[in-house]
Structure formats: C-alpha cells, structure tokens
A and B are shown apart, each in its own frame.
Chain A
Amino acid sequence: EIVLTQSPGTLSLSPGERATLSCRASQSVSSTYLAWYQQKPGQAPRLLIYAASSRATGIPDRFSGSGSGTDFTLTISRLEPEDFAVYYCQQYGSSPMYSFGQGTKLEIK
C-alpha cells in the first residue's frame, strides 16, 4: 500500500505570498498517476493538477505542480484570498486503487 504524507499540516501565509506544499509517497509513484485537489469548507474537492504537472481546465496559472518518484510539490505563486483552503494529493496505484494524503490546510496569516 502506498501512503502519501503531506507537509506541512498547516501553512500560514498572507495574500501575495508564495505557497509550497509537499506530498511524499512511501513508494515510487508514476507522475502520470499523481493529482492535486483543493477543497473549501462545505464543498466537494476540485481537481487542480493531474499527471503531476498539468493544470485542469479553468485552473489559473498561479497553480503549478512538479516532482517525480516519491516527492511531489504543489506551488501557488502568488496567493489570492480564494486560495485559502485544504489541499490533497492523490495517487493511483494498487490496493487501495486510489489513496489521498491527509491534506494541508492553507490559512491566512
């Protein structure tokens, strides 16, 4: 079973700052199978990044993904007020077929 560990658990930043969120896998993950989601309170998750670095439809270019193997990063270049939310990484693999990280909460400083 592949376990995804996200860090930090909580990130406190101000609008305009750069955010760097980490997702580390317990075993190597194909970049094709790594995605990032954003979730705001009371809402369903929203796909941001797929295949480690491809932005989903309608996602602003301040969001970018990178990484390979066991280390992946979501970067938000300049935080907007609407970016404060919880972010999850997700991998596709085997048993379970999909797993998610525990999430990083991005809060306003």
Chain B
Amino acid sequence: QVQLVQSGAEVKKPGSSVKVSCKASGGIFSSYTISWVRQAPGQGLEWMGRIIPIVGIENYAQKFQGRVTITADKSTSTAYMELSSLGSEDTAVYYCAREISHYMDVWGKGTTVIVSS
C-alpha cells in the first residue's frame, strides 16, 4: 500500500527558507497528486498547495503564492515543499498527503518546523 515518509524536524531562523521532503512508496508516484497541509500549534488544518507530477502542474493557495514552491522528482518518487521568508507564524507541522478524487486518503506523519531566532 502507499506510504508517505517525510523528512525530519527543522529549526529555522526568521527570514530563512525550509524545504521538506515526502517520499512515496507503493503505487505509481507519477499518477498521484500530492498536497501539502500545515497545522500550527493547537490550530486547524490549512491547505497550502499541490502538485500533479505526471503533468507537472502546481496549484497554490493564494495566501502562500510567491512564498511556497512545490516540486516533484519522479525518479525518486519524492515531493518537496519549500517555504521562504519564514516568520514565527510559520511554526507548524507540515503534512504531505495523496489526493484521490478531491480528498486526501494517505498522509505522511508530518514534519515539525520551528521558526525561532
């Protein structure tokens, strides 16, 4: 079955960037759509964007437009989410998830990103 394995926790300085990876196993990676969702401490879920590797199409939430870049490496079945110009409000757990027909059926365990000076 499909599994998504995310990279480890990160501590970043304000103004820097972070790049989180999400490696898929099982299934056919290029046929997936991978979304990124974040959750600030004690808060709800917030969709950031997605990528459709087979056609190379990316979609981003307007809130993150210009600050987030989602890419995919089909040769390693890995998706990436890079967020720039980090502020304390970006401290959160970042999840990747596989999309199927407009819902998310498989999730990674999450990557904690802490932004602190």
Question: Chain A interface (Cβ within 8 Å of chain B)?
Answer: 32-33, 35, 37, 39, 43-47, 50-51, 56-57, 88, 90, 92, 95-103
Contact = CB atoms under 8 A, between A and B. Distances in A.
Contacts, number: 61
Given A44-B95, A44-B107, A32 B102 contact: yes
Interface of B: 35, 37, 44-47, 50, 59, 61-63, 95, 97, 101-105, 107-110
B61 A47 contact: no
Contact of A90 (B63, B101, B103): B103
A44 B95 CA distance: 8
26 contacts: A32-B102, A35-B103, A35-B104, A44-B97, A44-B108, A44-B109, A44-B110, A45-B37, A45-B97, A45-B104, A50-B103, A56-B105, A57-B105, A90-B103, A92-B102, A92-B103, A96-B61, A96-B62, A97-B50, A97-B59, A98-B37, A98-B47, A100-B46, A100-B47, A101-B44, A102-B44
Contacts of B105: 47, 50, 56-57
A65 to B, nearest CB: 12
Residue picked from B61, B63, B104, B108, most chain A C-beta under 10 Å: B104
B107 A96 contact: no
Given A90-B45, A95-B62, 4 more contacts: A44-B109, A45-B45, A50-B103, A98-B35
Contacts of A102: 44
A32 B102 CA distance: 8
Contacts of B108: 44
